[in-house]
Amino acid sequence: MCGFVGLLNWYGLASEADGYAKVMADAIEHRGPDDEGFWRDPNGAVILGHRRLAIVDLTAAGHQPMASRSGRWVIAFNGEIYNHEALRAELDRGGWSSGWRGHSDTEVILAAFEVYGVDQALQKCVGMFAFALWDRETKTLTLGRDRLGEKPLYYGWLQDTLVFGSELASFYRHPDWHGEINRGALALLMRHNYIPAPYSIFKGISKLPPAAVARFTKHGTDPEIREYWSLREVAERANRSPFTGTPAEAVDEVERLLRQSISGQMMADVPLGAFLSGGIDSSTVVAVMQSLSTQPVRTFSIGFDVAGYNEAEHAKAVAAHLGTSHTELYVTSREALDVVPRLPSIYSEPFSDSSQIPTYLVSKLARQHVTVSLSGDGGDELFSGYSRYAMSEALWGRISRVPTPLRLGLASAIRAVRPSVWSGALRLPLCALPSRYRFKNPGDKLHKFADLLGLRTHDDVYLRLLSHWQSPEALVHGAKEPPTWMTRPDGVPASMTDVVRRMMFLDSVSYLPDDILAKVDRASMAVSLESRVPMLDHRMVEFAATLPTSILRRDGVAKWPLRQVLYRYVPKELIDRPKMGFGVPLDSWLRGPLREWGESLIGDRALAEDGLFDVDLVRTAWQEHQSGVRNWQYQLWDVLMFQAWHVQYRENQRVGAAASV
């Protein structure tokens, strides 16, 4: 795991560009504290910079940027190729063996590019990665990213210079940097709590989508972008040829693929462990790891002394049963809150999934003992684990049976009465119902239901359920939301009519790479920890896509195949319990210990100064949340995380400008 930066100018880079590359690489030292390296093309068009976190081949033979044996190709690489030993053997059989300098996976992928070409080599790779590859012969720069988007890659033009690298923080160090907020991307952040690729928070700066390569050729500015693997094609192929075996055979294949993936991802020349929450996904990964290991696996979990937010006890019980070497840390609310000021620097692009806090804390804990940690991310998207899938399917099943005119009339009638009035009117009737139906703010729930009544398709319903601010264009002045997978007419394959499958697909191409994987990458790399995600081995992804929902949700149980694999290692009673998630008590924090901090960021003066947000909308939400009339925790966190990031960004720019002068 590493980080890289780069500069390209077809007319030749100035001599000062070496210094620019150095300070840009310094900005991401946390991604690679073990070594740094720079390479400048003799013709002066390209500079590559690299920060290394040494995981495989700790010797100087793994130093980057790295040139191929012929000298034609030079690469800056971030990630891991888990099947690099098999690729090396394949290349040896083809007569390549005489030229190996070490045993790093970077050297293998360079050789594969030379022998097979970029696209074919990438199709042979099993791994997570981002890279910049310079072809000295054709004067072509190729940027590439792994299939599911585990590793990040940004790029954009600053006048005549292309800048590219692992994090936006590097770009701020370039003297030509003048970032302008992309208000459309800001609106997307307010809707989703993340900014979907290919957009970034700045105009003119893009994220390379997963499974894509971008080629920049001489004197061109717009790259040729193509996919070498397509999740859409995987879904369409699976829809045409679904799995036809028995449920038991599906479970056997899931276990086989997991063992294959985890065995490959346990490759490291440094200490290795795993995150363990005690849930289905992480417990399955740890169970298989332990079965493959000759010694106790190191596992890590974070505990909170807050009811409803603590899974550490469950993790401890699973660890004890499996015999892992388990480390847990209970953190106080104060210790968790102390992370909040660091979030803007950890996430150099604004990001507002509040589980970023415990993710950082467990990464920090693990890094005290290991350099690599496996996680259970991806299980919900692959095996239909989110409760919103069943809820959304059931909701649409009921709504769609009511004629549209009737739905619209009912929605208008509900909205005509304020949520607080509804809550008062419903308080006594709700007392007679079971506790699970006694909502704290029933009027709030009723208004949300009214919003759903007027929608015309299930995809519209799902977008509404996923959205924080329902009308981001009204919230962000001058914003027009750009199209995303969620809103493009061609986003979901037309042949995919199963609504659960449609939701799983949309999450896999957007929420998974741009929220879940971005969160884990930035949090772990902030403490120089490599995080690996074995569920997202593309062979597992391709098989899971073929499983019908009747197997994924068998007998009304979510993630049925994965559960059956886990039950082979861990008793049911240690696992079967309501899903808790990995969150923090944001609602009470914003009314208590974070109230003063929040007020400083979204007070009338602070909001008016930027001119980005509708002051009345934000202030109304803040006041209603403080009074307890409504719970706006997620919507407010979106605004607060942007504001905190923006304050720090502007201060860094001011300090940087002064230093340049």
Catalytic positions are 2
> In Å, how far are 30, 365, 524, 628 from 369, measured between CA atoms?
17, 8, 13, 42
Q: Say how far apart CA 273 and CA 443 lie, in whole Å.
A: 46
**CB-based contact 19:25 (threshold 8 Å):** no
Tell me the three state secondary structure of residue 130. strand
- What residues are paired with 272 via a beta bridge? 372
608 is written with which tokens?
A: 């008016």
- The answer to the question of whether 459 is labelled as a binding residue is no
Indicate the pairing of strand 73-81 with strand 127-135: antiparallel
70 is written with which tokens?
A: 């012929």
- The answer to the question of whether 376 is labelled as a binding residue is yes
Indicate the pairing of strand 298-304 with strand 372-374: unpaired
Residue type at 257 in one-letter notation: L
Helix 560-567 with 280-292: angle, nearest 10 deg: 40
**CB-based contact 506:488 (threshold 8 Å):** no
Residue type at 371 in one-letter notation: T
Name the phi and psi angles at 283, rounded to 5. Answer: -65, -35
Q: Say how far apart CA 317 and CA 315 lie, in whole Å.
A: 5
> In Å, how far are 308, 441, 445 from 413, measured between CA atoms?
35, 18, 15
- How many H-runs (helices) and E-runs (strands) does the chain carry? 30, 17
Q: Say how far apart CA 376 and CA 279 lie, in whole Å.
A: 9
- What residues are paired with 530 via a beta bridge? 372
DSSP class of residue 485 equals T
**CB-based contact 94:111 (threshold 8 Å):** no
Q: Say how far apart CA 382 and CA 542 lie, in whole Å.
A: 9
Tell me the three state secondary structure of residue 498. coil
- What residues are paired with 50 via a beta bridge? 4, 37
- The answer to the question of whether 345 is labelled as a binding residue is no
Q: Say how far apart CA 552 and CA 273 lie, in whole Å.
A: 29
The residue to which tokens 């993936």 are assigned: 261
- The answer to the question of whether 75 is labelled as a binding residue is no
Binding residues: 105, 302, 375-376
**Binding site, annotated residues for ATP:** 302, 375-376
